[in-house]
Structures are given as structure tokens and as C-alpha cells.
Amino acid sequence: MNPSGLEALIEALRCLPGIGPKSAQRLAYHLLQRDRSGAQRLGEAVLHALQAVRHCQRCNTFTEGELCERCASPRRDPSLLCVVETPVDMNMMEQTLSYQGLYYVLMGRISPLDGIGARELGLERLLARALDGVVKEVILATNYTNEGEATAHYIAAMLRPRGIDVTRIARGVPVGGELEYVDAGTLAQALRERRACST
């Protein structure tokens, strides 16, 4: 019962994750009725980003050049390669100010339920990247979820036989965390992976 241009917009909005038919309709009305300049910017920004944004040839993150800033920088240590799931995770790592190596961004994780295996994730590109002869250690910083863990195991099994050091970021009680509020699984891991006190 809507005009066709509006129907097409409602249908197109449904490509956004988490947006069903009712929400799509509400968003479309909002854009056309309350925020036409925002809608104009949105339409142009989507089309521009599709044109301009691509993947870094080395680390696979989003970039507008051949290489991203980090991969192009001479000040990073090329012998360290940190594997993360998304660009957001990479930004989180950068905010720690305690890592000076390079990255590889998977842009996902192994997730058989969603039909994403090693092939769909393009892990052979990571393999080629890690075997460039300069990388000595690969640090796995995928999430500590089931999918993130499975991804880490797969990558470790893929790289270790090729003579690359593979490490995993530590898991344990968060800094500032109180034992009372930490879940039992985390606490059990923290106990199992305890380390000698430095004095």
C-alpha cells in the first residue's frame, strides 16, 4: 500500500542486521519525514564508502589506500603479528599503548553455524602473511568466545608446524576485578594459569 520508492527503501533497510519489517518501515518513515538531510548524507555515505573503502593488502583491515597507516609505518615491529577478529578489536589493542607490532584482521571468526569456515574466512591469506620470513611470533587475540577459541585453535594448528611461535593473550581476573563478581570459569582459568610472583 506504500508507493514503490518507499517500499524499495523499506526492503533495502532490511539488509541491516537486527532490522525486521516493522523497524524498517519505522526507519523509512523517519528518514523521509523527519530527517531528509540525514537521509541524503546516509545515501551518499554508503555509496561513497563502497567506492572508496577497501582492504589493506597486508593486514586486511579497512583502508582507502593500498596499505593502512599501520602497515605502512616504519616504526612498527614487523616480527610481531597480532591476529584479531575485527577492526574494533584492533583499535582496542592500540588503545593499550603496549603493542608495537603489526596486525592481521580476520574480519570475522570461524562459525560453522553461520557457514563460515577456514575457507570463507580466507585463512590461507593469513598463512601467506605469517610466512613472509620476517614474522617470528603470531599473537592470537581473538575473543574468548566459543567461536573465537575455535578460530585461535585452528590458526595455531595451522602455523605451529611451520616454525612460527604462536601465543595467545592471557585470560584471567580483569584488572580492578573482585573475585566475588568474576564467573567461576574465569576464576578456574586464572587459578590454572597462575604464575610465580615477581618480588
Q: Which stretch binds its own copies (CB under 8 A): 30-38, 143-151, 165-173, 183-191?
A: 30-38
Q: Of 71 and 159, which has the nearer Cβ to its own copies?
A: 71
Under the binding rule (CB under 8 A), the answer on residue 13 touching its own copies is yes
Q: Decide: 83 and 138 in contact? Cβ < 8 Å.
A: yes
The number of residues that bind its own copies (CB under 8 A) is: 53
- Nearest approach in angstroms of CB 65 to its own copies is 8
CA distance 112 to 44: 35
Q: Which stretch binds its own copies (CB under 8 A): 6-14, 138-146, 169-177, 190-198?
A: 6-14
Burial 100-130 (b: 16+ CB within 10 A, else e): ebbbbbbeebbbeeeebeeeebebeebeebb
Would strands 137-140 and 165-168 be described as parallel, antiparallel, or unpaired? parallel
Residues of this chain, 48-107, that bind its own copies according to CB under 8 A: 48-53, 62-64, 68, 86-88, 90-91, 94, 107
20, 21, 32, 128: which one binds its own copies (CB under 8 A)? 32
- Collapse the DSSP code of 85 into the 3-class scheme (helix H, G, I; strand E, B; otherwise coil) and give the result: coil
